[in-house]
Structure 1
C-alpha cells in the first residue's frame, strides 16, 4: 500500500480538493509511478462533469515521473526509469496492429474510469473507493498505477514538467501537423485556437522548413505569444472576416488547417478558407454539425478529417518530439507554467483567463 496526496473531485460544481489517498500495490501487469508533474488538459475538465454519482473521481492523463515498482509480468519498464504516461490501447485489435493505437477498438473501456478487470479497487480515500483509471493512469496524485501500453520511457535529463503534456496535449497538436497533415515547404497552415494544442501545432510546423503559418485566436495575449513563437500572421476573429483574410493572405486559401476549438462554425470557416485540394484536421472535441458546402468539397477536392492523439504511436513519437525539444527546435517550455498541486484553483484560474497556456501540477 502506498500513501500519497491527490487532487480529487467530489462534486463537479465544487472546487477540487487535495486529500490523502492509498494506492494498492501493483499487480503483475501494473507499474507504480511516482508522479513529479501532471498537465491539466481540457479533457480532464470535460470529464469532471460526468455527474455527481460514484464520487470522488481522480483525473489526470498527462503524468510524468519515475517508476517506483513494477509487477512481475512487466518487462519493458524498470524501477528508476523516467517515464511519460499517455493513453491506453489493447495492442491486438486491427487498428492497433496497423500502427493506429489512438483508434483502438477497445479505447473506451481502457481509457475511461473503471476498476480492474476483476473489479478490485486500486485507490481509496478514507477507506472509500475512488473512481480512477482515467486514461489508465489518473495522475493527479503523487503516485499512479499504469501499464506497459501507456508508459513511455524517456531521457532522465528531460524536465518532467515539460515532458508531462507530451502524453496528450502536445502530442495531439504536434501530431496533427507532423503525422496527419505533413505540410511541405511553401505551403500555408492555418491554426484555429492558440491554446496548448494549437501552440504545439504551431511549434511543430516551425520544425518543417518553409511552412508558413497563420494563427486565428480570440485572446490578444495568445496572439502575441503566437507571433513570438514564429507565426507568420495572426488573425483576430472578433475583428476580421477570417475566411477573407486568410484567402487574401495566402493567395487563394490555406493548403492545411488545424481546428482545436471543437466549434462547428469555426470548423466550417476553416474548411471554407482552404485552397483547392486543402485539408482541415479537427482535433477539438465538440458537438454539432459544421456548415460545410458539399459542392465545395467535391468540386475543389477539399478534405475534412478527425485526428485523435495526433495519430501518434506514443512509444516512438513522444521520444521524437522530446528530441526536437532537446535540440531547441520545439520550445514547448514557453507554454508551461508550474503550480504546486495544492494550488490547482490558481492553475485553473490562470488557464481560464488565458494568461497560462499549459498549467502543470507538481508534486
Structure 2
C-alpha cells in the first residue's frame, strides 16, 4: 500500500482536511499515478456538500505514471498523463464510440469503490474511505486508476504545463466537447452561452476555434463577462437585466444557431432556448438537482428548435484532449487564462474561492 496525503471530506461543515491515508497497490489491470496537480470541479463540491461518510474526491488529475499492473498495456512508468472519467470499455455504448454514455458510468464514477465494490482507500486507523471518484480520486498525492482513464501527453511536456492540464479531463473537455462534438458548430455560425464559468468559457474558446463569428455570453458576474470579452466574445449580457433575452437576440441577428447552457438553472435553460433562431439547437450541459423541472414555451420549441443533453462533451478523451492541447500550443485555445494555481496546503482556500466565484478554475499543485 502507498501512504500518502489526501484532502478528505468527512463532514461537509468542516470542508476538506489534509490527512494521511493508505492507497491499495495496483491490481493487474490498474495504474498508479503520481499526481502533479488536480483541478477542482463544481461536481466535486456538490458531492462534498452531500457526503455522509469519509471520501476523497477529485477527477481532473494530471501526473506521471508510477507503477502499472501486469496486464496493463499502452502506458508505462514515467509516462506523463491526464486523468479523465471512467468507463467500462465493454458495453455497447463504449464499443460504439460514446464512452461518456457508458452503461456503468454512475457506479464507475460515483460509487466510491471499484466496480466489484472493493475500496481502494483506508485511513490511518484502518477505517474505510470512499475513493475511486471518477475512477481516480485525485485530491491526493497518488491516484489508482484504469488505463481507460488515462490520456498520455508528449514526454517533453514541461512540468509547468502539465500542472494546468488536469481540467482538460473534465470541465474544459466538457465545454469544448459540447461545441465540437455534440453540436458540431459550423464556421460562420452564431452561438449563445449561458454561464461564464470554466465550462462556458471553454465553450467560447472552442466556438471561436471552430469559426463561430458571433458568440454572446450571458452571466451574472461582471468580472467573468469582462473576461469573456477579452477572450473574444462578440457580446456579453448580464442575465439580471430585464431585457437580457432581447439583448441576446439582437447580438445574434435575431436568434442564435446554437446555445450552450452550463449553469443548470431552470431560468437559464429557458433563456438559452428562447435565444435560438428557428432551426437552432441548444445543448444542455449544466444539471439541476435530481427531479428539477424546466418550463419551455411549446411554440418556441415547436417551430423547429432542438434540445440535446450533453455529458462530458460527448467526448472520447483520448481523441479530444490531444486535439485541444494542440490548439492550445498553437495559441488558439488559451484555457490557461481560466486557471489559478494553489499549493496543496491551501486546498480549502481553493475550494472557497471556487464557491465564491473569485476563481474560475482552481488547480491545486501537489
Q: TM-score range by the shorter chain?
A: over 0.9
Counterpart of 1:10?
Answer: 10
CA distance, structure 2, for counterparts of residue 241 and residue 142 of structure 1: 48
Question: Conserved in 1, the CA contact under 8 Å of 2:72 and 2:147?
Answer: yes
Please give the root-mean-square deviation of Cα atoms over the aligned residues, in Å. 1.3
The alpha carbon displacement at 1:305 in A equals: 0.8
Q: Check whether the contact 2:2–2:25 (CA below 8 A) recurs between aligned residues.
A: yes
2:77 match = 79
Unaligned runs of 5+ in 2: none
Offset, 1:209: 2.5
SS in 2 for 1:7: strand
1:66-96 Cα distance to aligned partner (Å, 9 max, x none): 0000000000111000011111111121211
CA distance in 2 between counterparts of 1:289 and 1:117 reads 31
Structure 2 CA distance for aligned equivalents of residues 42 and 145 of structure 1: 22
Q: Of residues 314, 327, 330 in structure 2, which corresponds to 1:327?
A: 330
Distance apart, 1:121 and its partner CA = 3.5
Q: Distance in 2 between matches of 1:115 and 1:147?
A: 13
> Which residue does the alignment assign to 1:221?
223
How is 1:21-32 mapped onto 2 (pairs within 5 angstroms)?
21-32=21-32
Residue 178 of structure 1 is matched in structure 2 by 180
Q: Which residue of 2 is the match for residue 261 of structure 1?
A: 263
Distance in 1 separating the partners of 2:359 and 2:169: 19
Distance in 1 between residues matched to 2:299 and 2:236, nearest whole Å:
29
Aligned length: 360
Secondary structure in 2 aligned to 1:350?
A: helix
Cα offsets for 1:3-60 (capped at 9, x unmatched) = 21100001012121001111121100110000111100000011113342xx210000
CA distance in 2 between partners of 1:121 and 1:183 (Å): 42
Determine helix, strand or coil for the equivalent of 2:163: helix
Q: Deviations over 1:133-187 (max 9, x none)?
A: 1100000000010001111111231512221001100000000111111222322
Aligned counterpart in structure 2 of residue 297 of structure 1, from 279, 296, 301: 301
SS at match of 1:266: helix
Structure 1 residue 310: deviation in Å?
0.4
Q: Determine the structure 2 residue equivalent to 1:318.
A: 321
Pairwise CA distance, 1:118? 5.0
Superposition TM-score, scaled by structure 1 size: 0.96
Which one of 241, 246, 263 corresponds to residue 243 of structure 2?
241
Report Cα offsets for 1:249-283 as digits up to 9, x if no partner. Answer: 22210110000010111101111110000011010
In structure 2, the residue matched to 1:285 is: 287
**Runs (4+) off by over 2 Å:** 113-121, 352-355
Q: Which moved more, 1:238-247 or 1:212-221?
A: 238-247
Find the counterpart in structure 2 of residue 101 from structure 1: 99
Paired residue for 2:276, among 274, 277, 283?
Answer: 274
Whether the aligned pair in 2 keeps the contact of 1:221 and 1:354 (CA below 8 Å) is no
Aligned to 1:33: 33
Distance 1:233 1:114 in 2: 42
Equivalents in 2 of 1:164, 1:210: separation in Å? 26
1:228-261 deviations in Å (ceiling 9; x for gaps): 1110010011124221111122221011000001
Q: Relative to structure 1, is the Cα distance of residues 239 and 293 closer, same or farther in structure 2, using a 3 angstrom cutoff? A: closer
Residue number among 107, 110, 113 corresponding to 2:111 in the alignment: 113
SS in 2 for 1:347: helix
C-alpha distance in structure 1 between counterparts of 2:243 and 2:355, whole Å? 25
Q: 1:163 aligns with which of 140, 165, 173?
A: 165
Partners of 2:45 and 2:62 in 1: CA distance: 19
Aligned to 1:150: 149
Which runs of structure 2 are paired with 1:334-345 in the superposition (5 Å)? 334-345=337-348
Aligned-partner SS, 1:13? coil
Residue segments in structure 1 that go unaligned for 5+ positions in a row: none
Match of residue 134 from structure 2? 135
2:238 & 2:70 partners in 1: Cα distance? 55
